[in-house]
Amino acid sequence: MVADGPTSAGAPIDILGVTQAFRSGGKDLPVLDDVSISARQGEFVALIGPSGSGKSTLLRLLAGLDKPLFGEVYVGGAPVTGPDPSRPLVFQDPTLLPWRTVRQNVAVGPQARGILKQSRGRIDAALELVGLTEFADAWPAQLSGGMAQRAALARALVGDPSVLLLDEPLGKLDALTRRVLQGELLSLWRERGFTAVLVTHDVSEALLLADRVVVFSPRPARVREAIDVDLGRPRDQSTREFNALRRHILEILDADQTGPDRDRTARADHIARLDDKEVLT
Ligand SMILES: Nc1ncnc2c1ncn2[C@@H]1O[C@H](COP(=O)(O)OP(=O)(O)O)[C@@H](O)[C@H]1O
Ligand SMILES: [Mg+2]
């Protein structure tokens, strides 16, 4: 329960041989190709890959919004059969209802489940967790981008998630707000103990936050590599180790974009240039 302080609520994840395709224009569009990813209880996993490779598709499977064509998805040892408040999905766009206050937005889930009355404490606790207590009665239009995303996080936390699914949640925020929210996300993860799956296109963000970074190939996505981030916390982006990991991930992504036939020197140059950019896709 949110109101009861920290729980060891994290659930392990097992994605086993998942293949997904969509029917598009009379043809099958393969999106995920035999993808297997596991996460330990309470692990923070970042997922990075080219635009359109299938990252959001994978999160939707974990959220129970879609079913895979082949393969299995388990959370906490049980197959995922549908959406559940214990597996909320947070999007890039906070999608707050404009005619509801911040508190009423956070209350949407409990209200829909008919447990609004007994959830008052949890709603207040969720608002407190994201630092929005003073803005509980504000309207979404009155919030900054960062505050709106905090409200979206509170809405996800109110269900006491065992798995928090994050689809580029900080993607639209300015660099400074983004840094602040990265820190807050990390504190929430530490405090609440949920397993986190963060889709991001920012290699540094993945390395700042995650225990492990899974790199996807272009669509149909296969797991190119899963990289353990053996760096202590808090992390320092300026260290040699951090930059070695960053360079390694950029190399994988860049090799996919330029193709295997390109001249190796040209590719190395390209990587050096990419190195100066945070954002890849
Ligand atoms: N419901 C759907 N129907 C048809 N095509 C889809 C559907 N959902 C996603 N796609 C396609 O699957 C591919 C992967 O999408 P997505 O998972 O959103 O990629 P990413 O999040 O990595 O950018 C894209 O080509 C997208 O157009
Ligand atoms: Mg996406």
Asked whether residue 53 is assigned to any structural domain, the reply reads yes
Burial class for 172, CB neighbours closer than 10 Å (0-12, 13-18, 19+): middle
Q: How far is the CA of 176 from the centre of ligand 1 (A)?
A: 30
pLDDT score at 267: 47
pLDDT score at 265: 43
State the total domains in the chain.
1
Asked whether residue 109 is assigned to any structural domain, the reply reads no
Residue whose tokens read 């003073």: 134
Q: Whose CA is nearest to atom 6 of ligand 1?
A: 22
Q: Is the CB of 28 under 6 A from ligand 1?
A: no
What secondary structure letter does DSSP report for 141? G
Q: Is the CB of 118 under 6 A from ligand 1?
A: no
Domain that holds residue 176: 2-88+159-229
- 168 Cβ contact partners less than 8 Å away, ≥ 6 residues apart: 91, 92, 199, 200, 201
Asked whether residue 76 is assigned to any structural domain, the reply reads yes
For the whole model, what pTM was predicted?
0.90
Q: How far is the CA of 64 from the centre of ligand 2 (A)?
A: 16
Asked whether residue 197 is assigned to any structural domain, the reply reads yes
Query: Do 127 and 103 form a contact (C-beta atoms < 8 A)?
Result: yes
pLDDT score at 189: 97
Q: Whose CA is nearest to atom 3 of ligand 1?
A: 22
Tens digits of per-residue pLDDT, 52-67?
Answer: 999 999 999 999 999 9
pLDDT score at 24: 86
Q: What are phi and psi of 139, to 5 degrees?
A: -95, 150
Is there a cis peptide before residue 94, judged by omega within 30 degrees of 0? no
- 10 Cβ contact partners less than 8 Å away, ≥ 6 residues apart: 41, 42, 43, 162, 163, 193, 194, 195
Asked whether residue 178 is assigned to any structural domain, the reply reads yes
Q: Is the CB of 200 under 6 A from ligand 1?
A: no
At residue 41, the 3 state secondary structure works out as coil
Q: What is the Cα–Cα distance from 262 to 54, expressed in whole angstroms?
A: 25
User: Kind and range of the H or E element at 208?
Assistant: helix 203-209
CATH number of the domain bearing residue 202 = 3.40.50.300
pLDDT score at 9: 79
Asked whether residue 207 is assigned to any structural domain, the reply reads yes
pLDDT score at 260: 54
Asked whether residue 70 is assigned to any structural domain, the reply reads yes
Q: What residues of the chain score a pLDDT lower than 70? A: 1-8, 259-281
pLDDT score at 170: 96
| Region at 265 (left for phi over 0; alpha for psi -120 to 50; beta for the rest) | alpha
Asked whether residue 15 is assigned to any structural domain, the reply reads yes
Mutation test of ligand 1: which of 15, 23, 31, 165 has the most ligand atoms closer than 8 Å to its C-beta?
31
Mutation test of ligand 1: which of 15, 19, 20, 22 has the most ligand atoms closer than 8 Å to its C-beta?
22
Q: Which residues of 75-114 are buried (b: 16+ CB within 10 A; e: fewer)?
A: bbeeebeeeebbbbbbbbebebeeeebbbbbbbebbeeee
Count of all residues that appear for the chain in the document: 281
